[in-house]
Amino acid sequence: NAGVMQNPRHLVRRRGQEARLRCSPMKGHSHVYWYRQLPEEGLKFMVYLQKENIIDESGMPKERFSAEFPKEGPSILRIQQVVRGDSAAYFCASSPSSGRTSSAQYFGPGTRLLVL
């Protein structure tokens, strides 16, 4: 089984440009999570999505960041007008279900975003 796939693995953008990060969950998984790892810090939750629904976006910056998980295709994390502080590793994870007996989340390889 293919694991969680993310692309691109590395992304370089200049300040003011847009970054689009893609995540394809594991087969059979319908829940997607995005996390961000800033330099010298642990992973921080950003957003939790199910197909066509944002369940929890409490970790998303209020501006410039958006996420979607359409009915068809990968989940997309979009960062508009990037700034140097957006440079980080962005990880996607997926799980087959959620609820009181939470399933473990399986992580992709991450996208390393560098903003020049």
Partner 1 sequence: AQSVSQHNHHVILSEAASLELGCNYSYGGTVNLFWYVQYPGQHLQLLLKYFSGDPLVKGIKGFEAEFIKSKFSFNLRKPSVQWSDTAEYFCAVIPSGGGATNKLIFGTGTLLAVQP
User: Interface residues with partner 1 (CB under 8 A)?
Assistant: 31, 33, 35, 41-45, 48, 55-56, 58-59, 91, 93, 95, 98, 100-102, 104-110
Smaller CB separation from partner 1, 41 or 72: 41
Alpha-carbon distance values, 84 to 7, 17, 38, 66, 88 (Å): 20, 11, 11, 18, 9
Pairing verdict, β 75-79 and 106-107: unpaired
Q: How far is the CB of 107 from partner 1 (least distance, A)?
A: 4
Q: What is the dihedral of CA 82, 84, 85, 88, to 10 degrees?
A: 90
Nearer to partner 1, 76 or 89 (CB): 89
> Rounded CA gap, 49 and 20, in Å?
16
**Which residue number, 66 or 98, has a Cβ lying nearer to partner 1?**
98
Closest approach, Cβ 83 to partner 1, in A, equals 23
Comparing CB distances to partner 1, the nearer of 3 and 17 is 3
Report, in Å, the least distance between residue 16 CB and partner 1.
Answer: 30
Q: Which two tokens stand for residue 48?
A: 């939790």
